[in-house]
A and B are shown apart, each in its own frame.
Chain A
Amino acid sequence: MSRTTATTTSILDSIGQEITTILSPVSICMLLVVLLVSSLSPPSSLSSPTTPIRSAANLVYLETPDDSPSHKLQGALLNALVFVLLISAVTFLLVLLYYYNFTNFLKNYMRFSAFFVLAAMGGSIFLTLIQHFSVPIDSPTCFLLLFNFSSVGVISVFSNAVPILLRQGYMVALGIIVAAWFTNLPEWTTWVLLVALALYDLVAVLAPGGPLKILVELASSREDELPALVYEARPTVSRNGNRGGSSLGLLVGGVSESSSVELQVVSSENERVEDTEHTVIRIGEGGMGREGETSRLVNDVRERRSSSSESSEYSVDRNRQYGHEQSEIVVDEERSPLVEMLGSGNDREGREECGSETSGMTTRGIKLGLGDFVFYSVLVGRAAMYDLMTVYACYLAIVSGLGCTLILLAVCRHALPALPISIFLGVIFYFLTRLLMEPFVVGTSTNLMMF
């Protein structure tokens, strides 16, 4: 197109970056879960009821297809209640442990559970895949590969020297595995559980005295990172690797509110309960004004830069534009109307940042709890067991809910639960699609009528 000459880039290039950096991993996670579910579940899943698994999520009531709806509903409600109670108990325990500074214990526990998830649950999924596609592989090789896979995963969870891309990849992998496992739950229990978790999330993050709120506040008052599994959409990635194919080279994006010098990190949270860790978006902001800004430039793994040196070989004009914008930033706060931004920052994240990677530089990023990945994917995976149409509807609903949450985040600037809006929209769209739209669409399109 004749449009952008080298010097003038339109604002269209930059807006919305933050949202897409978080949307792409979520989309990848959901896509893979849907593929997994639809390839593994036998086509005639209705006719051949597999033996339901026993887990914390259905302690009380084991759903069988023959039960009456009211019975199922009651049982599902009980299951959800018990599960939520369990989760809140465990979360309070975590908060307590964190309060008394058992941070190392918590981290090791996280590592252990990451290993458990990757090796045991991931292993069983791989085994099913191998059987299903009859992959010729011998058991020692398989075991070795699995062990390596899990070990690298454990290392990547809390250590600094791991490329961010690898870490993000493992977070998505964890999400996929847990979500795939959750889709084994019976149908009614899944739906009620999702709604209950969304409500729980709402309370735990927003209500005064909610465990996640306490945890987040504790962590930010200690300037500590949360002992939790959290996906960070961080703009500074190694040069070749922007996440998830959303080739957004330029990270200008929004613009942060530059005025604040020190960070008030605002939130984050998470909790984990036997493999479901479920969390919120955390937005850190503040940051060190200009220096931070520059450092967000694309590839700075090795070049650590002071504000003046923009050595990246990324096109000069980008830098120029960047610098330009930056000067503005100092003057006034500009927030894009649509997006929020977060300059987050700095010293506290410095430490989790890879050692080689400019410590002390500002990163800004949105953090999304792994639990959100998991339960979004559970919803979509459950929808995939019905039909593809519900999958698309739920996907769109969840993504738009996430978008709304991100916009709210820009407005409120403190930790928000990411589950409620998305899950409610997803559930509503699922049932609307299933009950209303499907007969309509099937009816018209099998008559080859479209509009």
Chain B
Amino acid sequence: MTDVLIINARLIDPASGLDAMGGLLVRDGRILDVGPALGRPDGVEVVDAGGAVLCPGLVDMRAELGEPGGEYRETIASAAQAAAAGGITTLAALPNSELAIDDPSLVRLLRARGEETGSLTILPYAAVTRGCAGKELAELGLLREAGAVAFTDGARAIGSAHMMRLALAYAAQWGARVVQHPEEPALAGSGVATQGELATRLGLPGIPAAAEAMMVWRDIRLARMTGGAVHFAHVSTAEALALIRAAKADGAAVTCDTAPPYFDLNETAIGDFRTYAKLSPPLRAEADRMAVAAGLADGTIDAVASDHQPRDADDKRLPFAQAAAGGTGLATLLAVTLVQVHGGGLPLMRALEMLTVAPARLLGCGAGTLARGAAADLCLFELEYGWRVEAGAMPGKAQNTPFDGRALEGRVIGTWHGGRRVFG
């Protein structure tokens, strides 16, 4: 592999706080040197960044893959293509695939399938309960040994307080987090939109926003009781964030992430029964959206994840209540987060931290840094490049983006994985 020298880049590394013009030299797939004034060794391939931002490859801590079992929605190869286009080089895969990741051999399979793509490191989550069905504890110890980074039942909440208690106590044994989809299932019932005026007008069954806060409160309490660590995924309400903020201030082992739809869209996106905006948790009221945006800035939210959920067109071409929930998010993760930088006062360094080193630390992996010796997983993007999201013309197989038609600013122009250019 020839050495690569990227010059004339705005280097941003949230792990070290670096934000300076300079270059980065890659050798044997690793970062050999980084800084303002690098020499130019003979025989290197030189890439002129033209002043674009060079940051660590993004670490997406929450994405669903079609494989194994739902290949008609998306294959790992097509997800890797979309990830590369979005600057993502490490992705934590949810276990609630058609074939649930609840056996050590499946954890190893997912890691290997990631390596086969050559462009994406896949970090598998493993199921908390067998089949993600919420009934029987999965073999957390053996799954952890096989390489599971944390435990979750994915899009399904661990509804039983008893099971959550067991899972937190037991997972703590291996220093692993339990990642919760915070939604009290009995209260959510068969709801498909946030309960409120809009859902009432549309005649759609509602899910009270409080369903999230209730589960968050319960699990913070269980984490304290057991000594376990809980992570709340795609937090979307002001009330839940207030609970998490208070628990963190109190020193509880609690972390959380959110996803771009929850700080960029509100419930009005489902107007006219747009099923591409049907998500789980559902899009919220504007006040909640603003609270999520504030949580990004003030540090309550640790990471931003794509919450990518590939759906087939036929999953979505249904009456709203019958359509599948979920939206794609790999290719838009960075640009939608940058909306908060351009217009919302979120510092760029903080935005990139939540997309790189922060999720890497939560997942216990060494990615998400430009440190010398680290794997050369890199993302090069133009901060002010304007473009428009267009469902049907996005990279990868799944096209169910909730951001269809959205004008965005900031676009990935180059992605490197292990020193190899995989996009741009």
User: Is B one of A's binding partners?
Assistant: no
